[in-house]
Structures are given as structure tokens and as C-alpha cells.
């Protein structure tokens, strides 16, 4: 996403991946201007909204069963594993502080072709994760108000959050701060209520069991669960998409990425540790009851604290999911904007109005709405969407790590490289993302492969137009 963040507006790539404007019309002028209005707090709000402070709620039972009860340890290891990716983002955002995020990073470190592939694969993630969040919100609201069908709630969430994004990134961040505060208050209520029960009634499992397991400790089982848990963190990277709208420069973005991951990891470990102690059944019993895994968090809260907290958490998740989609839709709009500005997608996507990329946002909203409403009308819609959203992000993360090596080690563009910052960290990060891709479902792998193949065909078509820029 090299510019310094100074000057009247952001500068676009000139086709050589250096991120500097060349005055050739490739992203310069009014098409390329985004309004700088975000601070460090705003970036953290967007990141935490996208991740969701209580993201483990839906997968707690699955991870608890798979890890033999060591679910808090799973999230502790997953936080460390994702820290490699966060650190690579922090390295590259200083090199390319531009709206395209990993699209811009891969162009800098690996070249135009890999840059396009990185952006194309990230697009799959950024367009579908909001659809999952919208659908989750619709399902949660339908559970609370059964008289209204889930697709109505889904459509309402799309309309409200899209209008906020069209209003402007600063306004959306302000509303998002209120929603995030509500989610954190609910999480605090859960922590206090859980602690009170544990002090007065004691734990259902051993106090160390969320870190050691409630039976035999099996390292392979923990690592297998980590490959699922890392998916809870998807979204922290969206912070980098706002690099051209930050008032404090790329250092603010780097700090926000690392801080957001660290805070999310802490919240995940604390809440899973507490709920594991409240869990009335063993991890072995959960493993034998796959149907009960999805509601395990709610069941534990209901049995130990009361139905009121169950309903409070469910309502918070419903609202929080909609605003996670708001952050995802905003990030998707910035990616489409950047790829349109560099003429890797139709250039109309780079148009702005008052510093807001409204065309890109509307296209993002349209695709997301279609996917969410399609899934909302299918019994297996949520499962189908979830199975494919992760491959795009993980592939883009892998190319991000390769970009760090390409820029700092191969090109030595920043002087002598550091063996651990520019070699070891990205290598470990790539090992994590590749391992998760390999462990993904066959459906997800197949969809990812098809999407990649389509992207390669688009890239080949662009390269075939020697005499005219792509999508001019």
C-alpha cells in the first residue's frame, strides 16, 4: 500500500509497482483522492469490529472438542501464529502505505502479476466475509424475533451499514465505536458474571484444564484446533486498507495492526478460559455430540449464569455481526478502489465523491448482498459461505510474507536485510497460512482454485492488451 503520506492526496502506482505517481493518468487526479480523517483509535475500531470481540462464541464447542479441552491454549498459540502475519503487514505498510493493502504490497515485493493475484484472492475474502457476517446477523435476529424471516433482517443490516459507509469512513467509525463499546460491555458483563459463579460455586473442570486439557494432553490435537482458531482473527488485516485515510502516517497503521491482534487475542483467551471452566460437559462428551458443539458456549452460559446472559450475548452477536460486515464492506471497497485506480479492474471503481469511494462501495455492497441473500434462503447457506471465505485471505497472507522476502531480502530495497524480521518471521508466517490452507475443506480448496484460475485468465487477458491499458 513508497509514499510518505504527505501532500494533497494519495499517489498511485505508475505500473512499475513503486507506488509513486507518474502523472500518466494511472490513478492520478480526482479518481485517486481519499480523505485523510482516521486516527489510531478509528483503525482499532475497524479492526476489532471486523474480528468481533466475541468471535470464539460460535466455534468454542468445536475447538474444545478437537483440542481435548485445551481451548484457551489453542487461542494463545493462534495469537502467536497470527502475530507473524501481523508483523509482516507492519513491515510492508511502511513500504507501500496505500489503500490496496496486500495488492500493493505484493506489487512492490513480487511484481505486477503476483500483486494482481494477491489482490484477486483477497477480494474473495473481503467480498464474502461481510456476506457471512450479514447472514449471521440475520440468523441471530430471527432467533430473537422468529416472526420475521432471516433474509429480511439480513437485507436490513446491508442497507443500514451500506448507508453508513457511503456517509464516510469517519462517520462509520464513530457509529462503529458505539457498537464496539456495546460489545465490550457485554463481554465485560460475561467476565464478571462468570468470575462470580466460579468464586461462589467453583469450576466444573480443573482450573488449569483450559490450558492443559481436561484429559490427556495431545499436542497434535491442539495444533489441529489452531488451524481452525486462526480463522477467528481474519479481519485485523483490513486496517491496512485504510492507509491512505490515516492522519498519522503508515506508522499508525502498523501500530494499529499489531495492537488490534494483541487485544483480540487477549479477549479470546480470557473468554474461552472462563467458559471452559463453566462448561458442564467434558470435551469428550462434546466430541461425541457434534450437533451440540455449535451452541456449547451458550449452553454453558445458560446453565451456569442464567438465560438472561444467554440472550444478552446473542443480541450482542447479532448487532456486532452486522457491524463486522460494515468494516468488511469498507475494506472491500478500498481494495476495489485501489485495483480500479491501477486499472486492474474497471477504472470507474476508482471514482470518489467527497473523498469516499462510493462506486467501489456500492459494487462491494451489491456482491455481498447477492451472496448473503442467496445463502439466507438456503438451509446450508451459512456452511457453504464459511467454507470458502478463508482461502482467499490465507492465500493473500502467504503472498504478503513472500513480499517481505522479495522486497527486503531479494531486492534489498531497504538496505541490508534483517535475518529474523525479513527472513524468519515471514517464513514462519507463510508456514502457518499454508498449513491452514492444506487443512481446509475440499470445498473451500476447490472454490479457491477456481477463483484463482479465473484470476489468472483475467491477468493473461490484461497482458495480451499491449497497446492499451487494461480496463481503460
Segment (H or E) for 372: helix 358-376
Q: Kindly report, residue by residue over 269-316, the tens digit of the pLDDT.
A: 999 999 999 999 999 999 998 878 878 888 898 888 888 887 888 888
The pLDDT of residue 264: 94
Mean pLDDT for the stretch of residues 98-123: 89
Q: From CA 412, how far away is CA 348, in angstroms rounded?
A: 36
By C-alpha distance, which of 342, 386, 393 is closest to 16?
Answer: 342
Q: Under DSSP, is residue 24 helix (H, G, I), strand (E, B) or coil? A: coil
Rounded (5°) CA angle 257-259-264: 95
Q: Kindly report, residue by residue over 180-224, the tens digit of the pLDDT.
A: 999 999 999 999 999 999 999 999 999 999 999 988 888 888 988
The pLDDT of residue 157: 86
The pLDDT of residue 382: 66
The pLDDT of residue 168: 78
User: Measured on CA atoms in the order 295, 264, 336, 440, is the torsion positive or negative?
Assistant: negative
- DSSP secondary structure, 42-76, as one string: HHHHHHHHHH-TTGGGGTHHHHHHHTTT-HHHHHH
To 10 degrees, what angle do helices 358-376 and 112-144 make? 50
- What band does 32 get if pLDDT is binned at 50, 70 and 90? low
Round the average pLDDT of the chain to a whole number and report it. Answer: 83
- Range 218-241 burial, b when 16+ CB lie within 10 A, else e: eeebbebbbbbbbbbbbbbbbbbb
Residue partners of 259: CB distance under 8 A and separation at least 6? 44
Do 338 and 99 contact (CB within 8 A), yes or no? yes
Q: Kindly report, residue by residue over 358-407, the tens digit of the pLDDT.
A: 899 999 888 888 888 787 777 666 666 766 777 888 899 999 999 999 99
Do 313 and 143 contact (CB within 8 A), yes or no? no
Percent of residues, the chain, with pLDDT higher than 90: 32
Q: From CA 357, how far away is CA 348, in angstroms rounded?
A: 10
Ranges of H-type helices in 239-306 = 250-278, 283-287, 290-293, 296-304
Comparing 61 with 228, the larger pLDDT belongs to 61
Q: From CA 229, how far away is CA 358, in angstroms rounded?
A: 34
Q: Kindly report, residue by residue over 438-452, the tens digit of the pLDDT.
A: 877 787 788 889 999
Q: Under DSSP, is residue 38 helix (H, G, I), strand (E, B) or coil? A: strand
The pLDDT of residue 309: 85
- What band does 82 get if pLDDT is binned at 50, 70 and 90? very high
Of 6-20, 100-114, 143-157, 301-315, least confident by mean pLDDT is: 6-20
The pLDDT of residue 16: 39
Q: Under DSSP, is residue 139 helix (H, G, I), strand (E, B) or coil? A: helix
115, pLDDT greater than 80: yes
- DSSP secondary structure, 153-170, as one string: HHHHHHHHHHHHHHH-HH
Mean pLDDT for the stretch of residues 312-333: 84
162, pLDDT greater than 90: no
Of 1-15, 83-97, 195-209, 399-413, least confident by mean pLDDT is: 1-15
The pLDDT of residue 137: 80
- What band does 342 get if pLDDT is binned at 50, 70 and 90? confident
30, pLDDT greater than 50: no
Q: From CA 91, how far away is CA 402, in angstroms rounded?
A: 12
Comparing 140 with 185, the larger pLDDT belongs to 185
DSSP 415: B
Amino acid at each position: 500500500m513508497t509514499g510518505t503520506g504527505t501532500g494533497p492526496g494519495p499517489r498511485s502506482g505508475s505500473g512499475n509497482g513503486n507506488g509513486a505517481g507518474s502523472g500518466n493518468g494511472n490513478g492520478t487526479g480526482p479518481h485517486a483522492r481519499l480523505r485523510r480523517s482516521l486516527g489510531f483509535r478509528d483503525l482499532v475500531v475497524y479492526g476489532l469490529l471486523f474480528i468481533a470481540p466475541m468471535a470464539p462464541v460460535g466455534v468454542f464447542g468445536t475447538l474444545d472438542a478437537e483440542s481435548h479441552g485445551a481451548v484457551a491454549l489453542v487461542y494463545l498459540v493462534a495469537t502467536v501464529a497470527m502475530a507473524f502475519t501481523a508483523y509482516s503487514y507492519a513491515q510492508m505498510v511502511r513500504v507501500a502505505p496505500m489503500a490496496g493493502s496486500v495488492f500493493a504490497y505484493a506489487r512492490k515485493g513480487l511484481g505486477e502479476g503476483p500483486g494482481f493475484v494477491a489482490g484477486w484472492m483477497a477480494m474473495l475474502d473481503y467480498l464474502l466475509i461481510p456476506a457471512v457476517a450479514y447472514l449471521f446477523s440475520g440468523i441471530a435476529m430471527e432467533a430473537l424475533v422468529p416472526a420475521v424471516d432471516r433474509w429480511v433482517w439480513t437485507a436490513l443490516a446491508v442497507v443500514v451499514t451500506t448507508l453508513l459507509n457511503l456517509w464516510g469512513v469517519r462517520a462509520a467509525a464513530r457509529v462503529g465505536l458505539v457498537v464496539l463499546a456495546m460489545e465490550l460491555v457485554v463481554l465485560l458483563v460475561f467476565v464478571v458474571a462468570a468470575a462470580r459463579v466460579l468464586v461462589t460455586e467453583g469450576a466444573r473442570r480443573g482450573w488449569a484444564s483450559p490450558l492443559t486439557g481436561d484429559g490427556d494432553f495431545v499436542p497434535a490435537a491442539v495444533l489441529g484446533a489452531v488451524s481452525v482458531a486462526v480463522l477467528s482473527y481474519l479481519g485485523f488485516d483490513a486496517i491496512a486498507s485504510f492507509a491512505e485515510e490515516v492522519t498519522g502516517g503508515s506508522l499508525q497503521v502498523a501500530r494499529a495492526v499489531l495492537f488490534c491482534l494483541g487485544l483480540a487475542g487477549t479477549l479470546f483467551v480470557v473468554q474461552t478460559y472462563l467458559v471452559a471452566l463453566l462448561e458442564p460437559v467434558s470435551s469428550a462428551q462434546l466430541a461425541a455430540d457434534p450437533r451440540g458443539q455449535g451452541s456449547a458456549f451458550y449452553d454453558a452460559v445458560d446453565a451456569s449464569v442464567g438465560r438472561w446472559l444467554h440472550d444478552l450475548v446473542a443480541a450482542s452477536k447479532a448487532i456486532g455481526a452486522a457491524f463486522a460486515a460494515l468494516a468488511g464492506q469498507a475494506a472491500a471497497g478500498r481494495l476495489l478502489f485501489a485495483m480500479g485506480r491501477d486499472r486492474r479492474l474497471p477504472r470507474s471503481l476508482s471514482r470518489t465523491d467527497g473523498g469516499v469511494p462510493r462506486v467501489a462501495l456500492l459494487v462491494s455492497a451489491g456482491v455481498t448482498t447477492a451472496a448473503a441473500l442467496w445463502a439466507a434462503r438456503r438451509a446450508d447457506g451459512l456452511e457453504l459461505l464459511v467454507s470458502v471465505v478463508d482461502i482467499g485471505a490465507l492465500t493473500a497472507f502467504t503472498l504478503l510474507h513472500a513480499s517481505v522476502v522479495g522486497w527486503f531480502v531479494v531486492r534489498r530495497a531497504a538496505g541490508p536485510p534483517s535475518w529474523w524480521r525479513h527472513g524468519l518471521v515471514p517464513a514462519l508466517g507463510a508456514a502457518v497460512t499454508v498449513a491452514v490452507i492444506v487443512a481446509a475443506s475440499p470445498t473451500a480448496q476447490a472454490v479457491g482454485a477456481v477463483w484463482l484460475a479465473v484470476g489468472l485468465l483475467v491477468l493473461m487477458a490484461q497482458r495480451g492488451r499491449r497497446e492499451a491499458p487494461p480496463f481503460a
